Amino acid sequence: MAQFVPPDSAKQNAGALLAWANENDVQELDVRFVDVRGIVQHFSMPLATVDEGMFEDGFGFDGSSVRGFQAINESDLILFADLNTARIDPFFTARTLTLTCDVYDPIDRVAYPNDPRGVAKRALEYVRSTGIADTVYFGPEAEFFLLSNVRYTNGPNIAYYEVDSHEGFWNTGSAEPGLSYLNRIKEGYFPLPPLDKTQDVRAEMVRVMMECGIDIEVHHHEVGGAGQGEIDMRFDSMLDMADKLLWYKYIVKNVAQRYGLIATFMPKPIFSDNGSGMHCHQSLWKGGQPLFFDEGGYAQLSEMALHYIGGILRHAPAILAFAAPTTNSYRRLVPGYEAPVNLVYSKRNRSAAVRIPMYSKSPKAKRIEFRAPDPSCNPYLAFSAMVLAGIDGIQNKISPGDPIDVDLYEAGIETPTVPGSLGAALDALAADHEFLLKGGVFTKEYIEGYIDIKRTTEADPVSMRPHPYEFNLYLDI
């Protein structure tokens, strides 16, 4: 198996890393950072032109050209590389060393407040400053669809989309022999080939992830019959996991393209089939010991864990402005369709927004699972919002209420629910964000700017356009 991660000895300083790169036939250096949407930005340079001084000075770029960053009259920003993130890119033709970077202001050399990765670093610093915990672990389960074709267009007089999948049940009438053994809608969970036509694709994704230093626990076909999959990474500390999640999405998309497929992390790309979520397992530790376990507690949860859940549930509508941040997110989060929209908690119950997994009795495995987020999010912002809500719950001893261990849909129990639209989630964030300002993790200006961007570029443009299904309903009125 190829290895794309330099040894620890090469990450001690820039000189050691450059020496290792030259010894290993690296031709290019690629520096990367993330924008407010969670989209990775990058630029490259020949390795022969790079020296240690460039690492000390920082790599400059135009911040006014990045969504949510600088105004044009103060555009200059610089990147400082985190050497611990060094990897060889597994897809570039030229052997390329990549580095994830933090964004800084070039004048006073302080961390740029609008850098999402900087938000996550400040969140961790704040958690440690409280004395509550010194480590935050996350384990996101990011689902995705593998499609064979996607077509769409939008104009003043036209709007349509069409997706196809080599597993899609709508292809039963096809004359192509390869389009046989198709999963019925919502019957894609755990089938063997030939129903699971993506086994080899996922296995290739896993191989590349492991070569890039991402530990994988399991992969499988998901419930969505038309090519839905899931690859589960082993839990890791919050910042490292956010870094890994962006690599995860990058690897999934590029391996899919090798197979002539299109990978999408849209939460709801196909009507009537399951959506793609990103259940976020999380726990707090201190001094190497887990803090969420109590043998005598409900589901073996400590009082701290229950208060953490209380914070998540109380602030969930605001959290989802970051954790379910697209208009498409709310096509998935619809009451009555087994989506995790109910703001309650339970052991094992997947109809609750917060579930406590019961697979293991080990104190180290005790965690909570917030099920409403989806993989369209920026993980640095979403993880930060979740942990700040949980810490607020601990500090203020917020009760999560009584657990609900019955099927909410069968029992007809009414509970508070998540927002029904991106606009409603943004309204919730506007009304409830004091918990995000603690420790200077987020700033009021950043939150206001985020809300404005999401409203003007996503929520409003979608709400103003006629929907194709409206013609079914209203053309003859």
Residue of 117, 307, 371, 433 with catalytic role? 371
Q: Rounded to whole angstroms, how far apart are CA atoms 119 and 33?
A: 13
Annotation says 52 is catalytic: no
How high is the pLDDT of residue 72? 61
Q: Does pLDDT of 475 surpass 90?
A: yes
Per the model's pLDDT, the better-predicted residue between 293 and 1 turns out to be 293
The answer to whether position 122 is within a domain reads: no
Residue 178's pLDDT band, with cuts at 50, 70 and 90, is confident
Residue of 89, 167, 196, 222 with catalytic role? 222
Annotation says 230 is catalytic: yes
- What pTM was estimated for this model as a whole? 0.96
**Planar angle of CA 42, 46, 47, nearest 5 degrees:** 105
Instruction: Name the token pair of 249.
Output: 């999405």
Write down which residue in 80, 112, 144 finishes a domain.
112
**Segment 306-338, tens digit of pLDDT:** 999 999 999 999 999 999 999 999 999 987 667
**Segment 402-418, tens digit of pLDDT:** 998 877 767 777 889 99
The domain that holds 24 is classified in CATH as 3.10.20.70
The answer to whether position 265 is within a domain reads: yes
End-to-end CA distance of the chain: 63
Q: Does pLDDT of 275 surpass 90?
A: yes
Residue 361's pLDDT band, with cuts at 50, 70 and 90, is confident
The answer to whether position 443 is within a domain reads: yes
Please check whether residues 334 and 445 belong to one and the same domain. yes
Per the model's pLDDT, the better-predicted residue between 350 and 462 turns out to be 462
- Mean of pLDDT over the chain: 94
Q: Does pLDDT of 132 surpass 90?
A: yes
Query: Which DSSP symbol is given to 73?
Result: G
Task: Enumerate the β-bridge partners of residue 334.
Answer: none
Residue of 28, 141, 167, 374 with catalytic role? 141
Q: Residue 246's Cα: distance from chain center in Å?
A: 8
Q: Which residue has the tokens 């399991």?
A: 218
The answer to whether position 119 is within a domain reads: no
Please check whether residues 165 and 31 belong to one and the same domain. no
Annotation says 105 is catalytic: no
The answer to whether position 291 is within a domain reads: yes
Residues 180, 185, 187, 192: what is their CA dihedral angle, to the nearest 10 degrees? Answer: 20
Residue of 51, 52, 57, 62 with catalytic role? 62
Residue of 167, 369, 374, 392 with catalytic role? 369
Spell 349-372 as b/e; 16+ CB within 10 A means b: bebbbbbbbeeeeeeebbbbbbbb
Q: Rounded to whole angstroms, how far apart are CA atoms 376 and 458?
A: 13
Residue of 109, 184, 350, 467 with catalytic role? 350
Annotation says 62 is catalytic: yes
Annotation says 222 is catalytic: yes
Task: Enumerate the β-bridge partners of residue 30.
Answer: 44, 98
Containing structural domain, residue 322: 130-474
One-letter identity of residue 476: D
Question: Are the C-beta atoms of 270 and 145 separated by less than 8 Å?
Answer: yes
Q: Rounded to whole angstroms, how far apart are CA atoms 98 and 88?
A: 6
Q: Mean pLDDT throughout 70-96? A: 90
Residue of 167, 196, 230, 232 with catalytic role? 230
Residue of 37, 279, 307, 367 with catalytic role? 279
In SS3 terms, 97-126 reads as: EEEEEEEECCCCCCECCCCHHHHHHHHHHH
How high is the pLDDT of residue 318? 98
Write down which residue in 83, 112, 141 finishes a domain.
112
Query: Which DSSP symbol is given to 440?
Result: G
Looking at the chain, the whole-number percentage of residues with pLDDT higher than 70 is 97
143 half-sphere exposure, CB direction, 13 A CA radius:
29
Please check whether residues 154 and 102 belong to one and the same domain. no
Residue 76's pLDDT band, with cuts at 50, 70 and 90, is confident
Query: Which DSSP symbol is given to 4?
Result: -
The answer to whether position 217 is within a domain reads: yes
**Segment 336-356, tens digit of pLDDT:** 667 899 999 998 777 789 999
Please check whether residues 311 and 367 belong to one and the same domain. yes
Please check whether residues 394 and 294 belong to one and the same domain. yes
How high is the pLDDT of residue 65? 84
Write down which residue in 82, 112, 142 finishes a domain.
112
Q: Does pLDDT of 162 surpass 70?
A: yes
How high is the pLDDT of residue 423? 98
Annotation says 371 is catalytic: yes
The answer to whether position 43 is within a domain reads: yes
Please check whether residues 19 and 145 belong to one and the same domain. no
Region label for 131, one of left (φ > 0), alpha (ψ between -120 and 50) or beta (otherwise):
left
How high is the pLDDT of residue 278? 97
How high is the pLDDT of residue 392? 98
352-356/149-154 β-pairing: unpaired
Please check whether residues 87 and 165 belong to one and the same domain. no
Collapse the DSSP code of 460 into the 3-class scheme (helix H, G, I; strand E, B; otherwise coil) and give the result. helix
Instruction: Name the token pair of 273.
Output: 């089939």
How high is the pLDDT of residue 405? 83
Q: Rounded to whole angstroms, how far apart are CA atoms 93 and 76?
A: 30
Please check whether residues 134 and 212 belong to one and the same domain. yes
Please check whether residues 354 and 323 belong to one and the same domain. yes
Beta strands in 267-307 (DSSP E): 278-286, 289-290
The domain that holds 328 is classified in CATH as 3.30.590.10
Of the listed ranges 1-15, 33-47, 303-317, the least confidently predicted one is 1-15
Q: Mean pLDDT throughout 359-367? A: 91
236-237/135-147 β-pairing: antiparallel
Collapse the DSSP code of 140 into the 3-class scheme (helix H, G, I; strand E, B; otherwise coil) and give the result. strand
Query: Which DSSP symbol is given to 181?
Result: S
Please check whether residues 164 and 230 belong to one and the same domain. yes
Collapse the DSSP code of 415 into the 3-class scheme (helix H, G, I; strand E, B; otherwise coil) and give the result. coil
Please check whether residues 171 and 260 belong to one and the same domain. yes
Q: Using CB atoms within 10 A of its CB, is residue 172 exposed (0-12), middle (13-18) or buried (19+)?
A: exposed
Work out how many domains the chain is built from and give that number: 2
Looking at the chain, the whole-number percentage of residues with pLDDT higher than 90 is 86
How high is the pLDDT of residue 74? 67
Q: Mean pLDDT throughout 148-165? A: 95
Query: Which DSSP symbol is given to 296?
Result: T
The answer to whether position 222 is within a domain reads: yes
How high is the pLDDT of residue 69? 83
**Segment 44-59, tens digit of pLDDT:** 999 999 999 999 999 9
Please check whether residues 99 and 188 belong to one and the same domain. no
Residue of 28, 89, 143, 243 with catalytic role? 143
**Helices (DSSP H) in 263-378: which residue ranges?**
303-323, 329-332
How high is the pLDDT of residue 50? 96
Annotation says 141 is catalytic: yes
For residue 161, CA distances in Å to 101, 149, 269, 271, 425 come to 36, 11, 10, 12, 26
From the list 190, 10, 205, the residue with the least C-alpha distance to 90 is 205
* 67-75, long-range: CB < 8 A, 24+ apart: 67/35, 67/36, 67/37, 67/453, 67/457, 68/35, 68/36, 68/37, 68/114, 68/449, 68/450, 68/453, 69/35, 69/36, 69/103, 69/112, 69/114
Q: Does pLDDT of 212 surpass 90?
A: yes
